[in-house]
Amino acid sequence: MSDVETGTISTKIPARLDRLPWSGWHWMIVVGLGTVWILDGLEVTIVGNLSAQLAKPGSGLDITAAQVAGVAAALYVAGACSGALFFGWLTDRFGRKKLFIVTLIVYLVATLMTAFSFSAWWFFLFRFLTGFGIGGEYAAINSAIDELIPSRHRGRIDILINGSYWLGAAGGALLTVPLLNDLPVNIGWRVAFGLGVVLGLAILLVRRNVPESPRWLFIHGRDQEAEGIVGDIEKRVGGDLPEPAQPTTVHQRKSIGFLRIAHTMVALYPKRTVLGLSLFIGQAFLYNAITFGYAQILAMFFKIDTHTGYYFAVIAVGNFLGPLLLGPLFDTVGRIPMISATYIGSGLLLLGTAWLFAQGSLTAVTLTACWSVVLFVASAGASSAYLTVSEIFPMETRAMAIAFFFAVGTAAGGITGPLLFASLVETGVPGDTALAFAIGAAVMIVAGLVELFLGVKAERRGLEAIAPPLTSAEVSKAA
């Protein structure tokens, strides 16, 4: 039964995990869990670049390019939102490992079935289910990574992993060029989806070796298992380890009631909830202001309707370099200055791009260069949104918090954003497209200002110090 105490334990497991030096074992965690973002980037970009191919006669599908970019894309977003919420709840209830295995299997099966699509309804169904699996991955993976990575490395690793989405996006953009030009029309798009399955199977083989979160185990009354896992990790890492810090005392429970989880976000941490919503919605609007319909912008204003994958690959590289190069500063300079700077800075850069575009001062190359600079800064900020919501809420609500903010942000960016920006871009008036840029920039800047006032100093701090578990003795007394 939910919220029924099963015992009390005083443990140093969190402190023992945080004191570990970086090692090959941690790289195994990064590869096994973090590379799923490459899959997401690969998926989204491949579909975006395959829309014209799928609509051609002889593709094997009776579908239009508008249906691929519209209905199929919306169903993928809807699947990601619902999958995040569904699997996020299960992750907090049944553990990280069970769910990050299940969600990857859902993704693999759905993607494989997409490759064998024979009609539009089949394609739509499995695009939804692919998104369902990917959405669940976000909740299960981010919570597991944060609970296994030492606190002094958590910021840069989280940001780099979330930014790796753009490695998949760049790869997807480049892969579609030979697949579309060198293979038969009914084969190329199927091979593209098949490549996602191959990469996913490789990740699954590594992921089998990733343990359950010891933090989740000891809170749910399985402290002996937690002790065994941490002891094994310490043996693998080796070396002289410093004495761990003070222990954490918790009242163990088999599960945490949903009402208590909701109460935590709304009543116990209302400012942090506002912060999380602001960061997610801000980055969602900025990205849709730029990336949604980028091919349409290139075709409409610069008469470029072939090899758009090359342009997108350049943007994707800029997106990845931002988290790679700026990520370490989130652990050294600090969360608040870096998050606010990347949000406000990228917003101001996009406003400048909007002004140049409206003046007719940009070419396809210089516009792509401007986008790359904007997204170099914005990508580190967007990745920090996932980092923020995964570390500022108690462990029992972590996966559900990630799922909630991901779902709201994705819905705002993936539904409201495209509807608004598409209507502005399709007029063919440069000033209207510049307005789309400006709206995305303004929402991003507002989110950066919210961070300045409500941000949490989480750098190099243990998760339990940022947000004590709901089952901790101190919180239980206060409640």
Q: Within 55-149, where are the H helices? A: 65-67, 73-94, 96-115, 120-148
Helix (H, G, I), strand (E, B) or coil at 252: strand
Q: Above 80 in pLDDT, residue 307? A: no
| Confidence band, pLDDT 50/70/90 cuts, at residue 383 | very high
Which of 340, 339, 7, 63 lies closest to 186, judged by CA? 63
- Burial of 363 (C-beta count, 10 Å sphere; 0-12/13-18/19+): exposed
- The average confidence (pLDDT) of the chain is 86
Helix (H, G, I), strand (E, B) or coil at 382: helix
- C-alpha 204/C-alpha 199 separation (Å) is 9
Per residue in 198-238, pLDDT (tens digit) is: 888 888 888 888 999 999 998 888 889 999 999 999 999 88
19 in Cβ contact with 150 (< 8 Å): yes
Q: The tokens of 348 are what?
A: 């101001």
Segment holding 6, helix H or strand E: strand 5-11
Which amino acid, residue 176? T
| Confidence band, pLDDT 50/70/90 cuts, at residue 177 | confident
Residues 6+ apart with CB under 8 A from 323: 159, 160, 162, 163, 164, 379, 380, 383
| Confidence band, pLDDT 50/70/90 cuts, at residue 477 | very low
Q: Above 70 in pLDDT, residue 438? A: yes
Which of 97, 99, 68, 67 lies closest to 83, judged by CA? 99
Q: What is the pLDDT of residue 257?
A: 62
DSSP collapsed to 3 states, 50-72: HHHHHCCCCCCCCCCHHHHHHHH
| Confidence band, pLDDT 50/70/90 cuts, at residue 472 | low
Facing residues of 8 across strands? 251
Q: Flag whether the pTM goes above 0.95.
A: no
CA distance from start to end of the chain: 19
β-strand pairing of 248-253 with 5-11: antiparallel
Q: What is the pLDDT of residue 59?
A: 84
Q: Which residue has the higher pLDDT, 96 or 258?
A: 96
Q: Above 50 in pLDDT, residue 479? A: no
Helix (H, G, I), strand (E, B) or coil at 4: coil
**Average pLDDT for 254-263:** 67
